[in-house]
Chains A and B, each alone.
Chain A
Amino acid sequence: MIGSSLSRWTMAFFTGAVIFLIAAECLMVAGYGFPAMAAEAPETLLLVHTVTIGWLSLLMCGALLQFVPVLVVQPLRDEILVLPALLCLLAGLTSLLAGFLGLTGMLDTDIPFLLIGGCLLPIGFGLVLWTLGRTLWQARPLPLPARFVAVGLTCLAATFLLGTFFAHILSGLISDAVMIDFRTKVLPVHAAAGFGGWLTFTAIGVSYRLLPMFMLAPDAERTTNHIVWWSGSIALLSIIMGAPVEFILAGSARIASVIAGLSAMVALVCYGFDLFFFYRNRKRRNIELNSKSAIGAFAALYLSAALLLNLLATGTFANHAGALIYLVAFGWLTGLGLSQLYKIVPFLTWLECYGPVMGRKPTPRVQDLMVERRDGPWFVLYFAGLLGGTVALLADAPNLFRITAAMTLLATAAIVIELVLARRLFNVAAAVRFPEGTTRPHLFLPAIRNH
């Protein structure tokens, strides 16, 4: 069979992801962690990892398990490892968060939760890496979008290896003396590999395939696509490998940082040209809500770059790094994630429910599962809250931030409710909702019958 099939556990990854997203947004509304508390406080660590591992990484893993086979036109290898991977990730993250709670003093226990999390998470990510890595390896030579994913997965490995080291330090297995250098010199590498490599570079790669597909835009590889890959890869290599080596040899990482910064800017500029090209040259003039709302995420990406340049130029980076990270995590990555979930969840639900009777019974369209006119305002509210939150962080106004966080929470909850309604086929007219032969999709568990 040419092509791929439905990924059995992608919906379960997505479900876990949105639960952690809602939880993180509730924490922000409640004033838990940054900015109400210090950036290095355990409460902030709990919040950051709820977002980065719980929401963004689970989302990305679930999406890649479905889309890597599409990118390489090959079936997923060793699919049997996916469920153990998910269970390890969920158990590992829960344990890590419990460990952070222990550091806050809220949880008094002798169980070494940080250590357990620091062991289970690498196993979970390792299994995902194995499955996706083998699928990519079997498909060489890789098309360009898949090469982005390959670099992103390499960065994931670097991120969780450094994260595991941190977990060992925080659990006291490695001496505090090492920790001082580790925090100031290696934490930026951990964050850059995670946000820049694993999450951003992978998302860019997948977008090169999905945007033309959704908008019927020309999908032939262009020179700018390759420049984005090369310059982005050089930027990531400079930060992950070059900076530590330069620091060991010369005591600073200035040259590697400059190379990384310039390369990243080249990549972003070229990616901007490509995005403009896709939207400008799309054949499908009536684009769907996911493609419209993604524009907000792309705008947030470029706002982040502008903010970074401004903070560096004014020497205020250290004061406002939190605002920048918030804009990247909730504007670019979460904005794109929610936008694409709005397309992918109904698509997978439709295939699960109506795929088996297609050609035998009349079926509704995928678009009938959602009501775009009703849902568009939620995305507007989300991005409005995001912008307000960024301004609040720049203005050091934690109470204003909580109000704007409530806006993003409300919008996110509404979008998630719409996704649940899509899973239940709520918006499909009752008379045609379940033609004979269809199976009602489970909320997040896979159907027994699968193509």
Chain B
Amino acid sequence: MSDKPRESLAESVRQSLRMVIDPELGENVVDLGLIYEVSVVEVGVVHVEMTTTTAGCPAAAYLRDAVGSAAGIVEGIERVEVGLTYDPPWTPEMMNADARAHLGFGRKAAGR
């Protein structure tokens, strides 16, 4: 598989993962920066490395299953491997602009 289809498939997976919402913050896991890596490791197989906002989160198992399901419905994906890691630990700085805007993250900094 050439790099371009791999990148395209990984991007499709990322788009699909936006359906998964972190219950505590109410934003999707991609915008929150909880998805560390999406890589197509071989034909039809994608590996997602993810974290949760806090270690020990009661939603962790649900989120991991949800990420697996959301990635699995993408056309061309036959198998999904989901790794849950806390290295590095998630920090609010990992959120993208959309999530920051929704949570009012940037308002104070912008006002300075």
Chain A residues at the B interface, C-beta cutoff of 8 Å: 1-7, 66, 69-74, 213-214, 216, 283-286, 347-348, 350-351, 354-356, 358-360, 362-363, 365-367, 451
Contacts and interface: CB of A to CB of B under 8 A. Distances in A.
A3 B63 contact: no
A356 B62 contact: yes
Given A2-B84, A347-B24, A358-B21, A451 B108 contact: no
Contacts of A213: 24, 53-54
B24 A285 contact: no
Contact of B69 (A5, A348, A360): A360
A358 B17 CA distance: 10
A451 B67 CA distance: 15
Nearest to A359: B66
B88 interface: no
Given A216-B105, A285-B105, A355-B62, 4 more contacts: A1-B60, A358-B21, A359-B19, A365-B26
Contacts of B45: none
Interface residues of B, number: 35
A285 B104 contact: yes
B55 interface: yes
Contact of B24 (A69, A283, A359, A366): A366
Contact of A365 (B21, B53, B104, B108): B21
Nearest to A210: B54
B11 interface: no
Contact of A362 (B19, B60, B62): B19
Nearest to B106: A285
A360 B92 CA distance: 26
Interface in B65-112: 65-70, 73, 84, 86, 92, 102-105, 107-108
A355 B55 CA distance: 18
A286 B25 CA distance: 11
A3 B63 CA distance: 12
Given A359-B19, A359-B66, A359-B67, A351 B58 contact: yes
Interface string B38-64: 000000000000001111111111110
Contact of A284 (B55, B57, B105): B105
A2 B56 contact: yes
A2 B105 contact: no
Contact of B92 (A70, A72, A283, A354): A283
A73 B105 contact: no
Given A3-B60, A285-B103, A285-B107, A358 B66 contact: yes
16 contacts: A2-B55, A2-B86, A3-B58, A5-B61, A74-B56, A213-B53, A213-B54, A214-B24, A285-B105, A286-B102, A286-B103, A355-B59, A358-B63, A359-B19, A360-B66, A366-B23
Given A347-B24, A358-B21, A363-B21, A5 B104 contact: no
A285 B92 CA distance: 12
Contacts of B107: 285
Nearest to A66: B58
Contact of A3 (B20, B56, B92): B56
Contacts of A355: 23, 59, 62, 66
Contact of A358 (B57, B65, B84, B108): B65
Most chain A beta carbons < 10 A, residue from B17, B20, B26, B70: B26
Contacts of A214: 24
A352 to B, nearest CB: 10
A73 B58 contact: no
B23 A351 contact: yes
> 5 closest Cβ contacts across the A-B interface?
A359-B66, A285-B104, A358-B66, A359-B69, A355-B62
Given A213-B53, A350-B23, A366-B24, A360 B58 contact: no
Contact of A286 (B67, B70, B104): B104
Contacts of B58: 3-7, 66, 69-70, 348, 351
A3 B52 contact: yes
A5 to B, nearest CB: 6
B59 A351 contact: yes
A285 B62 contact: no
A218 to B, nearest CB: 9
Contacts of B26: 365-367
Contact of B56 (A69, A351, A365): A69
Contacts of A347: 23-24
A1 B108 CA distance: 37
Contacts of A351: 23, 58-59, 62
Given A5-B61, A358-B62, A71 B69 contact: no
Contacts of B104: 284-286
B56 A71 contact: yes
Given A3-B52, A3-B55, A284-B103, A359 B23 contact: no
